Amino acid sequence: MCYLVKYIMETAVEIREKLKEEWLPFIYREKVRTQRTRAYHLDIPKTEHRAEIQYTLLGIELKVGNKRFSCPDLSTARYLQVFARIGCSDVAIPYDITKISTLADELDISWHKTLLFLEEMSKSKVASAQGRMRSALIKEIRREIEEIGAGSLMPEFRQTTKQREV
């Protein structure tokens, strides 16, 4: 069992090295958290989930398990969907809505590349070992994202004025 844990961790490190700047936590740290963001809380447990985007009469919703989260637009729903799949309950959303769509694309591509690399590396393993490898990889991604943090609930508004003191 100890050998399997070591192998799983080596697999996560190898996938991180293959993806480099496309590693999901790297994108989150370098492209999301460097901007002005606001924190968003998804009330979901810390496990892998199936997240679906649904179009309703009232707008767009992200369905995670049996919970639904109202989203202002499709790009925000796609952005949150990536983090909901991983089980991240607190994430940062860029305040500038024009940037959310491209970040959602990058994060989604990163997620799918990660799964492809994992599938390639674990295809010779039995199904139970593949499942453990997948859950350990997702746990590692979630841990790194939680370590980076979601930031403050509201972005900071700096209002500087150039007034002379009399």
Q: How confident is the model at residue 3 (pLDDT cuts 50, 70, 90)?
A: low
Q: What is the pLDDT of residue 158?
A: 62
pLDDT of residue 163 exceeding 70: no
Q: What is the pLDDT of residues 122-155, one digit of tens each?
A: 888 888 888 888 888 999 999 999 999 887 766 5
Mean pLDDT over 106-113 rounds to 96
Tokens of 68: 């639904």
Q: What is the pLDDT of residues 47-100, one digit of tens each?
A: 988 999 999 998 999 999 999 999 999 999 999 999 999 999 999 999 899 999
Q: How confident is the model at residue 1 (pLDDT cuts 50, 70, 90)?
A: low
51-56 and 37-41 strand pairing: unpaired
Tokens of 79: 């952005």
Mean pLDDT over 101-129 rounds to 92
Alpha carbon distances (Å) from 150 to 41, 54, 107, 114: 9, 25, 16, 22
> Which residue shows structure tokens 């994060």?
107
Q: What is the pLDDT of residue 11?
A: 81
Q: What is the pLDDT of residue 130?
A: 87
Give domain limits for the chain: 2-148
- The predicted model scores a pTM of 0.86
Surface-to-core class of residue 61, CB atoms within 10 Å of its CB (0-12 exposed, 13-18 middle, 19+ buried)? middle
Are the C-beta atoms of 84 and 49 separated by less than 8 Å? yes
pLDDT of residue 107 exceeding 80: yes
Residues 6+ apart with CB under 8 A from 35: 94, 95, 96, 99
pLDDT of residue 161 exceeding 70: no
pLDDT of residue 19 exceeding 70: yes
Distance from C-alpha of 83 to C-alpha of 104, rounded to nearest angstrom: 10
